[in-house]
Structures are given as C-alpha cells and as structure tokens.
Amino acid sequence: MSIRPFRDIKRRKSKKIRVGKVEVGGNAHISVQSMTNTLTTNIKETVKQINELSDAGADIVRVSCPDKDSSLSLKEIIKQVDVPIVADIHFHYKRAIEAATSGAHCLRINPGNIGSKEKVKEVLKAAKDFNTSIRIGVNAGSLEKNLLEKYKEPCPEALVESALNNIKLLEDEDFFNFKISVKSSDVFLTTKAYRSLASLCEYPLHLGITEAGSLTTGSIKSSLGIGMLLMEGIGDTIRVSLSANPVEEVKVGYEILKSLNLRHRGVNIISCPSCARQAFPVIDTVKILEEKLSHIKEPITLSIIGCVVNGPGEAAQTQIGLTGGGKENHMMYLSGLPHRKIASKRIIDEVVDLVEKKSKELTNN
C-alpha cells in the first residue's frame, strides 16, 4: 500500500540519450544528479565523495575539470566508481577532449564559450570517438557577451537564444547525443526559460535552480522551481544546487520527486508537526528515525502521528504507521490495519524493525 496520486503527470515528449549506463529522457525515470566539491586531483577524496553520493541515490555525478591534471585524474577516478561521471568544462576545449579520452561519460560545456567552431568540432569528434554525451549548460551568470549586449541583462529570452545557438552548433556537426540546461538563481527567470525551450525542441532537459543557497533556502527555491516544471511534465534529470554537503542535494532531489509521485526511493515519512495532543515526542522521534532508516533504499511509506485525530487515517494510506494513544498505548499499523500496541520506550526499535523487515520483503520479491 502507498499513497496514490490525485493525478498522473504527463511528461513532455523528449529524445532519449545515455550518460554511461543511465538513460536520460524519453520514458526513462527522472534521474538525480549532484556534483563533487573536492579537488579532482585528490583522487582518494573525490572517489570517496562520489561513492557517498552514489550510496545516497545519485544516478549521475559531475566532477569539475578546471585544469589538465584534473581532467587526466578522471581516468583513475572512473575505475573506482560505478556511477556515470560528467566532466564539468569551462572555456578550454582541450579539457573536454582530455576528459572524453579519460573516460568521462558526459561533458558539461557551453559550446559558445569554447571558442571557434573548429575547437567545437574537435570536442565533438572526441565525444563521438569515445561515445560521450554532452550537456549544453547555459547559465545566467556566464552568458555570451553578445547576448548580454543585446538583452542588457540575463533574461529568459537570452538563455533560450543561447541554448538554441548552441544546439545548432552541435546539430550542424550531426551530433545529437546531448541534453540541455538553462539555469539561473532566479526561480521565475529559470522556469520561464525552461518552458520556452521545452516548446522549441525535443532534447532532454536537465533542471536546476543554480546557486540556490544554503540547505534551507536552497531547498525551498529548488523545490519551487524544479517542482513547478516537473508538475508541468518538463524535465528529465535534476540537480538541487546547495551550499551544503552534496549528499543533501541528493536527498532533497528525491524528496521533490517523491512529493510529486514521480519516483520513490527510501522511506517516505509522513509526520505531524506535533502539538499538545501528542502522546510521544514526535519531533525527536522522526529525527532519530530519519537517521536510523537512511540506509533503506526500497520505497516504503511510514506515518508517525502523535495522536488519534489523524493517525488512523494516515496509517490507512501508508505501509507502516504509528499513532499516539494513551501514555503507554500507542498503536502500530501494517498496511492500514492495527498490528499491536507498544510502549513509548519501544517506538524506535519497533519501527526500525518493521521497516527493515518490509525492506527485506520487498528486496526478495
């Protein structure tokens, strides 16, 4: 049993590409991405962070390649990880060629900033030779000079024109293995640009609100911007950009997808804000459970409600439920049906045990 959506979201029709083993676009599920913040030349720490992101659920991880040593380090990094790697390239076309040669599964570039058409051709040849996809990354903070002069400031029209110009550069060379992003730190600018671009092409779109801010601020801005677009069926892969541990980006990304019933991973906890009616400390209980259940990968719905006002109703919609009753009279539910009563001191152990058993059951099935 799980919560059923009031309506299904009809996704925009898009082409399908591959980033390593991960499909992006078409009927593929919406992938969650993040980016390392270690020095890429520190191979040990970069591999460690990539694996942490992968364990958290990241489908694709981006790694910055600001210099030759970084792009060449990818060869050793990729040997030690299972998740597809995107090389983040700015300005220097040789970094892109080196990254493709080193085994990068995708190159994040802005072709308009790479330089001459000849340099772009060399990058595309390397991408073809090594079966490397590309993300055209248009950003309000790094628009081409001629577009800033034309529009006077970053705006949706400028981002879209930049994207279309870059699309043409790739199409003219018979290269179609790419996705596109048109990011800004402004929610309204970003969503308007994506809506416009979505109506003008069928290439897969990578969504994000760039430089969104701290964990709380950035999560809210990203949820609004990315969420609005996803509700309209726009978007094939997402990255939540936060000034925080990159693992938090993955967690927030999945929460956005779970909230829209677009993808489910791990335990989805439905909990009340707590009030004077609570029969056990709801806030502390949920905080502890989030930590103790963070290793669960199978999608499981869990309701933690402090009293009987909404508790039974929420439990009826979740696989596992807890409703506060008397002092030592809390009720556990399984698939909406009363399971057994438990004491306050047993709540954590009981819930963790039931969730882990459910997880094993789902894995075996």
Chain-centroid distance of CA 91 in Å reads: 26
Q: Which fold has domain 16-259?
A: TIM Barrel (3.20.20)
Domain boundaries, the chain: 16-259, 267-364
pLDDT in tens, 2-33: 444 456 789 999 999 999 999 999 999 999 99
Percent of the chain at pLDDT > 90 equals 88
Residue 2 confidence (pLDDT) = 44
List the 267-271 sheet strands across, edge first: 267-271, 300-305, 320-326, 329-334, 337-342
Neighbours of 111 (CB within 10 A): 27
In which residue are the tokens 């330089």 written? Answer: 115
Helices 43-56 and 246-259, axial angle in degrees (round to 10): 20
Among candidate residues 183, 94, 108, the one with its CA nearest the CA of residue 142: 183
Token couple for 197: 């671009």
Give the pLDDT of residue 306: 94
Alpha carbon dihedral 183, 187, 191, 194, in 10-degree steps, equals 0
Strands 320-326 and 329-334: antiparallel
Q: What class has domain 267-364? A: alpha beta
By percentage, how much of the chain surpasses pLDDT 70? 98
Q: Give the C-alpha distances (Å, rounded to integers) separating 217 from 222, 230, 242, 267.
A: 9, 20, 9, 23
Which residues of the chain fall below pLDDT 70? 1-7
This prediction has a pTM of: 0.91
Within 13 Å, how many C-alpha atoms sit on residue 27's CB side? 0
Tell me the C-alpha to C-alpha distance, in Å, between residue 59 and each of 131, 157, 265, 319, 347. Answer: 18, 31, 12, 26, 33
User: Which residues have CB under 8 Å from 5's CB, separation 6+?
Assistant: 260, 261
What type of residue is 16?
K
At residue 7, the pLDDT reads: 60
Task: Tell me the residue ranges of DSSP E strands in the chain.
Answer: 16-19, 22-25, 31-35, 60-64, 85-88, 106-109, 133-139, 178-183, 206-207, 237-239, 267-271, 300-305, 320-326, 329-334, 337-342
DSSP 183: E
What is the average pLDDT score of the chain? 94
